[in-house]
Amino acid sequence: MKKFAVFGNPIEQSLSPTIHQMFAQQCDEAISYEKILAPEGGFIAKARSFLSQPDAVGCNVTMPFKLDAFNMAVVDDQAAKDAKAVNTLMKVSNGSNETNAKNNIKGFNTDGIGLVNDLLNNHIELKNKRVLLIGAGGAARGVISPLIEASIAQLTIANRTKEKAQQVADETGHSNIEVVALEDVSNVRPHIIINSTAASLDGELPCAMSLSLLEECDVVYDMVYKNSPTVFMREARSQGVPKSLDGLGMLVEQAAAAFTIWTSKQPDTNAVVTKLRELIE
């Protein structure tokens, strides 16, 4: 049986085992997929130990270990390089189970492609659109390159701490990212607003949702999926934004991209989103 796991701290809340077992069932794969709590500073040793098992294929990595995962693997994936964050590790099949060497583990970041695929699944056109990304933490970093590669017209990053947004924009190496302070966000005229902050988990709006900010906005996307519709989605709707989406589809799509990396099989994500929504609501 192929072995997988997700590492994080905390990890109890993770839906990844449920999602991957649904994929495996669809694709006739027999897998085990466990949640592993790693102590801070203890992730790399635990991940190496997990991957050194003969049947281990790969693992997912969530907060706060995505930078550690980036550092312990060979990373060719552009999204992971730009984000300096890895959410998917795969043991490279080289005939040995030696995972202490970095070159036996490959790293990927599927968060951004998960977001882009979920937007496309929901018939959201990205090409030539102006996108406002709120937040400059790990969740934001992972989605920048895939958004730019989707041929958007303009990416603006707004963050409470503007310097952090500037640093993130500079580090990605994309030259045309605009950075604004959160209090100046009403001057931006985005078609799409993506909330990568966890403000919704505290029932807070990430920024003032002014009429001018929302004037040309067709869709808002909240990466949070708990207690959906979130306050951010509700506020946008009440101000006439036609479409608002939560992050459940992104969660499933990033998992699907990892599953495909590991197994070369493509699961039916729509069926899994529907089932998962029933489970969490």
Q: Which residues bind ligand ATR (CB under 6 A)?
A: 63, 135-140, 159-161, 164, 196-199, 204, 206
The reply to whether 263 sits in an annotated binding site is no
Task: Label each residue of the chain as H, E or C.
Answer: CEEEEEEECCCCCCCHHHHHHHHHHHCCCCEEEEEEECCCCCHHHHHHHHHCCCCEEEEEECCCCHHHHHHCCECCCHHHHHHCCCCEEEECCCCCCCCCCHHHEEEECCHHHHHHHHHHHCCCCCCCCEEEEECCCHHHHHHHHHHHHCCCCEEEEEECCHHHHHHHHHHHCCCCEEEEEHHHHHHCCCCEEEECCCHHHHCCCCCCCCHHHHCCCCEEEECCCCCCCCHHHHHHHHCCCCEEECCHHHHHHHHHHHHHHHHCCCCCHHHHHHHHHHHHC
CB of 141 to ligand ATR, least distance (A): 8
Q: Which is nearer to ligand ATR, 158 or 252 (CB)?
A: 158
CB of 64 to ligand ATR, least distance (A): 8
The reply to whether 175 sits in an annotated binding site is no
Q: Tell me which residue has tokens 């519709």.
A: 229
CB of 102 to ligand ATR, least distance (A): 24
The reply to whether 187 sits in an annotated binding site is no
CB of 192 to ligand ATR, least distance (A): 18
In the bound state, the residue with its beta carbon closest to ligand ATR is 137
Q: Which is nearer to ligand ATR, 73 or 140 (CB)?
A: 140
List the catalytic residue out of 3, 66, 84, 106: 66
66 given a catalytic annotation: yes
CB of 54 to ligand ATR, least distance (A): 33
- φ, ψ for residue 75 (rounded to 5)? -120, 110
Q: Which is nearer to ligand ATR, 163 or 268 (CB)?
A: 163
Rg of the chain over all Cα atoms, to the nearest angstrom: 19
The reply to whether 181 sits in an annotated binding site is no
Q: Which is nearer to ligand ATR, 87 or 269 (CB)?
A: 87
- φ, ψ for residue 48 (rounded to 5)? -60, -40
The reply to whether 254 sits in an annotated binding site is yes
Q: Which is nearer to ligand ATR, 138 or 267 (CB)?
A: 138
Distance between CA atoms of residues 192 and 141, nearest Å:
17
The reply to whether 136 sits in an annotated binding site is yes
Known binding-site residue numbers: 14-16, 62, 87, 111, 135-139, 159-164, 223, 225, 247, 254
- What are the catalytic residues? 66
Known binding-site residue numbers for NADP(+): 135-139, 159-164, 223, 247
